[in-house]
Amino acid sequence: MAPKLGILAGAGELPLRIIEACRAAERPYFVLAFQGSADPAVVAGEPHAWVRLGAAGEGLRLLRENGVEELVMAGGVRRPSLLQLRPDWRTAKFFARVSYRALGDDGLLRSVIRELEEAEGFRVVGADSLLGPALAPEGPLGRHAPDEAAQHDIALGFRIVHALGALDIGQAVVVQGGLVLGVEAIEGTDALIERCRGLRRDGPGGVLVKGTKPGQERRADLPTIGPRTVTAAEAAGLRGIAVEAGATLILDRDAAIAAADRAGLFILGVPRS
């Protein structure tokens, strides 16, 4: 049997999907839920403990006491300021070597994974390896495909996402008719879509483009969409969603595709050029 999985649970529904996958595979698991990020409704009734982000010592102790051998990071974590972090001794030891301020999100997560594996002896796996065929394939999913105008917007969107990714900020943009309606920073994709609802122009709707950062640590933070993304995109008058093929998690894939088909939206997997 697979060793006990420690689920480092952040925001959103990804932790729930991984819990479901463990149950389906009868694999034992333990949820370490991050205060201020994980959804209490998801972890209630599961074997779990809550921990502050700055309390690495306590978190590691809880994982060991619960017999965890393998770890998965699931869901975004609201990154606090250094002051708000209130690092315990183990966290402080980590940050004595790794600069908090100098690192973007991805750089920091990569360092955390290295620390968990090399200093603490855990194995860290990617969420996609636990969820079956969850990565976006190449080409359209569902019945709809982008027309030529939408393809222009998609190409522009990926250019911007890749440039932003090089700066380790945001992974998503909304483009409509060559116009960049919004750029994601830490507010998250849902908030970006909601904001663009009020910024849209007349004419064919915009396109949401999500990409990865260059050299992104895929075990830490894979771009993710799901039925909720489709519903939000529909409400904001978007025409479709383009993601990086092979590098984007699609949660509840069947439901997401069905929602897109109903709404007349495309979901397109685009290979990284």
Number of residues in contact with a second copy, rule: CB under 8 A?
38
Residue 178 binding a second copy, by CB under 8 A? yes
Q: Give yes or no for residue 235 binding a second copy (CB under 8 A).
A: no
Task: Tell me which DSSP letter residue 36 carries.
Answer: T
The single residue among 24, 203, 254, 273 that binds a second copy, judged by CB under 8 A, is 203
The answer to whether 109 contacts a second copy (rule: CB under 8 A) is: no
Contacts of 27 (CB under 8 A, 6+ apart): 1, 2, 4, 5, 21
Check residue 195 for interaction with a second copy (CB under 8 A). Answer: yes
With CB under 8 A as the contact rule, the residue among 179, 214, 262, 271 that binds a second copy is 179
Q: For residues 243 and 271, what is the distance between their CA atoms, to the nearest angstrom?
A: 9
232 binds a second copy (CB under 8 A): no
Q: Which is nearer to a second copy, 141 or 173 (CB)?
A: 173
Query: Token pair of 236, please?
Result: 């904001």
Beta-carbon contacts of 221 under 8 Å, excluding residues fewer than 6 positions away, are 73, 76, 105, 106, 109
- CA-to-CA distance for 80 and 57, rounded, in angstroms? 18
Shortest distance (Å) from residue 133 CB to a second copy? 33
Structure tokens at 35: 């205060």
| The two three-digit tokens of residue 164, written as one number | 């932003």
Q: Is 183 in the site for a second copy (CB under 8 A)?
A: yes
Instruction: Please report whether residue 177 would count as binding a second copy according to CB under 8 A.
Output: yes
Quick check: 187 binds a second copy (CB under 8 A)? yes
Residues 2-61 that bind a second copy (CB under 8 A): none
CB of 244 to a second copy, least distance (A): 19
Please tell me what DSSP assigns to residue 202: S
Is 141 in a helix, a strand, or coil? strand
Supply angle C-alpha 44, 46, 48, rounded to 5: 90
**SS3 state of residue 95:** helix
Nearer to a second copy, 6 or 76 (CB): 76
DSSP state of 156: H
Give the contact letters, 133-172, x = binds to a second copy (CB under 8 A), - = no. -------------------x------xx--xx-xx-xx--
Cβ of residue 156: shortest distance to a second copy, in angstroms? 9
Q: Would residue 86 be called left, alpha or beta, if left means φ above 0 and alpha means ψ between -120 and 50 degrees? A: left
In angstroms, give the least distance from the CB of 188 to a second copy. Answer: 10
Binding flag, residue 245, a second copy (CB under 8 A): no
204 near a second copy, rule: CB under 8 A: yes
Helices (H), 167-252: 189-197, 227-235
Of the ranges 25-33, 81-89, 126-134, 224-232, which one interacts with a second copy (CB under 8 A)? Answer: 81-89
Identify the CA nearest to 18 among candidates 58, 72, 55, 63. 72
| Min separation Cβ 237 and a second copy, Å | 12
| Cα three-residue angle 83-221-64, rounded to 5 degrees | 70
Residues that bind a second copy (CB under 8 A): 79-84, 100-103, 152, 159-160, 163-164, 166-167, 169-170, 173, 176-187, 195, 199, 201-204
